[in-house]
Chain A
Amino acid sequence: MHRRREAWWLIAPLAIFMVVWLGFPFLSNLYYSLSDVTFETLSSPTLTGFGNFADAAGSAAFWQSLWFSLRFAVIATTAQIIIALTLAIALRPLLERYRFLLAVLILPLMISPALMGIMYKLMLNEFVGVVPQYLALFGLYPNLLGPDWVVTVVIAIEVLQWTPFALLLLLTALQAIPEELLDAAYVDGAKPRDQVRRIVLPLMGPAIAITAFIRFIDSFRVFDHIYVLTGGGPGTLTTSSSIFIYRAFFQQGRLGFAIASSLILMAFSLLLLWATMRYVLKGART
């Protein structure tokens, strides 16, 4: 009983914080999503039911943007995890010996995504950009922001910026694996490849899942660098769900529709959170 009360006390500050700062906006957003509301009627929305959700569900543009976000997040997250994991395993001895190298590697995290977009806008410019100039040395003249390459380019930028974050988490998880386990495996004749496959990866499973989840959610709601770099185009080729919702809200003035769309997105995210946490908790119990 005492432990139970103590648990409630410990969780209370966070719970109160969430109720005040997340609960109220969530409820008001829920109300707006069920209402006919514009900027003019912000303080007096008219309750209309689930029309906004039906509109969002029936909007081809919404699903198109959702599909883009999903592809973007899956590819970017997979690439980040693979690269970060490889770097963590390969560079661990070096990073433990020269700790300042880690600070250098995580430098891209310090740059705001919008600034990243502006930076790449300059770097990819076909006349003054450094990337096309180097590609031209090899006789390559791709239109990097044209329909054929633009999706690859925006994913590559995401991977370049956020892989260090995944590296940081995975390196920490890697360092938490007891050395004795690896030493014992070595003594038993396990090759490095087998150590990674049979010891390192299984033990890092929950950490990889959490890292992948964080990066997936972050990539799934991508906005800044794409909006700055391509405006969601050419056409709608790089219109992510966040850009779609932003446009619906601010530029089209469809507040209820935009909020309903964002709640649908949130439902997807919660579903993913639930699945990830189930896996992580299962891993923690075994």
Chain B
Amino acid sequence: MKRRFIGASAFALAVALGAQAAQADVTLLFWPGPESDAMQAVIDAFNEGPGQELGFEVDQLLFSRQGFFDKELSDLAAGSTEFDLALVTTYTLGRYAPFLEPLDQYLDPGVADHFAPVALDSLSADGSIYGIPTDISVHFAFYRTDLIDELMNNPDWQARYSEIAAEHLGAARDPVDPGDWTWDDYIATALFFTQSINPDAPTQFGSALQLQNLIFNIMIWQSTLVSNGGNWMDADGTITIDSDAARRGLEIYQTIIDAGATPPGSLSYEFAEANAAFGTGRAATTLQWNAAFNIVNDPDEYPETGGLVGIAPMPAGPEGHRTHSHSLGIGMNAASENKDQAGQFLNYLASIEAQEIYAAAGGTPAVPSILEGMSDQRPEFPLIGQFAADYGFVINGGTAAYAVPVYEVLAQEFSGYWSGQTDIDTALSQAASGMAEAMAQ
């Protein structure tokens, strides 16, 4: 019996040691979902190819998405050596930077030249690159092609559209192609497709805005700010959020809210709810992340809108069309004990070959040439590259350590205004003072 026990223990120990030996040399901390699925394809290709020659393997360590960034930040700040590489984003970069390794010394010259400049900028801080871009996000104005086609060709609809614009916006307007929408055109379209304003409208609401107290909703709203010439701060770092541009941006949303052109529940909407409102055919348009296109245009998921979704740049202000752009990427843990190997993997990840594998596996790489080449499978891809290049912006201070706290302040104050909790003057002045406080931390 005793011998059997010792034998079993020895076997268990051998298995454990074997498992230890089989563990990867480089560990990448990521979140589960389409991005990690795509990353796994890249890792598999690396482990079977260059990794064999270099003599090490890469593996993923997945934390759940819920509270991912909080957990990641805690581990980075604690100097954890359990992972060598980790997911970084434009908006968390500034806060993570003290715990990340600048990548410039690890990257071969020219290895990152094929990325969209806005993507590299969005993962850079203090002149150094802190992340290899993997996914790029921009915003689109989503619309129903069947409804807009009818509007552009039906004289009765056009006459009604013009009347509604005159009544609500103070001047008659003609419908224009979504690609040329200004914010007033967008508002007029939203009003026209709202049944409480136009009883003959085929949809209950003209728009589905995302107004929950959430930083990602402010990222969408920022297109109204920047296209009207505003920003968080000017080149000298002076806070400029309490400005005419921000006021105009807030009023664009408020006009749609007050008119009942966005569902009342919009106050608690984020990504999924806006998709549901648009995808179930209740709303004619929405302002949404590019990732939504594949979802609402899928006939299996949303029969009402599948195959009928058009995408246009975010409506234009005096400064033209502008879209917030941010990137996901992979950065290096400053406490890593495998920096050289991690750097070698990042060189591979930055290559066209790896980015193509990533795209084929479901990612949205920030490489315009790859995005254009995949238009057959993903019709929105070329537009992502084009919009990011032509209209993309990273808000001033958007990669700083205070970026998330500032987003938090704006989300709180502006959602308070949209819900009627505060007036616009209070919201803007408190946003400015809250920003100053957040930046001073």
Contact = CB atoms under 8 A, between A and B. Distances in A.
Contacts of A40: 77, 98-99
7 contacts: A128-B276, A128-B280, A143-B264, A233-B412, A235-B213, A235-B422, A251-B405
Interface in B30-85: 66, 69-70, 73-74, 77-78
Contacts of A146: 264-265, 267-268, 419
A252 interface: yes
Contacts of B70: 250
Contacts of A92: none
A250 B405 CA distance: 9
A237 B419 contact: yes
Interface in A31-83: 38-40, 42
Most buried by B among A147, A235, A251: A235
B408 A145 contact: no
Contacts of B417: 235
Nearest to B414: A235
Interface in A136-154: 143-147, 150
Contacts of A126: 263-265
Contact of B421 (A128, A145, A236): A236
Interface of B, secondary structure class, is: helix
Contacts of B263: 126-127
Interface in A214-239: 229-237
A253 B401 CA distance: 9
A233 B267 contact: yes
Contacts of A39: 73-74, 77, 95, 98-99
Most buried by A among B70, B212, B214, B418: B212
Interface in B248-294: 263-265, 267-268, 270, 273, 276-277, 280, 282
B280 A127 contact: yes
A42 B213 contact: no
A235 B415 contact: yes
B405 A252 contact: yes
Given A125-B276, A253-B401, A253-B441, A235 B416 contact: yes
Interface string B87-121: 00000000100110000000000000000000000
A231 B212 contact: yes
Nearest to A243: B213
Contact of A42 (B77, B280, B405): B77
A235 B73 contact: no
A185 B30 CA distance: 67
A235 B412 contact: yes
**Shortest Cβ-Cβ A-B pairs, 9 listed:** A235-B416, A234-B419, A233-B213, A235-B421, A143-B264, A145-B268, A39-B77, A234-B267, A252-B405
Contact of A253 (B95, B277, B412): B95
Nearest to B404: A251
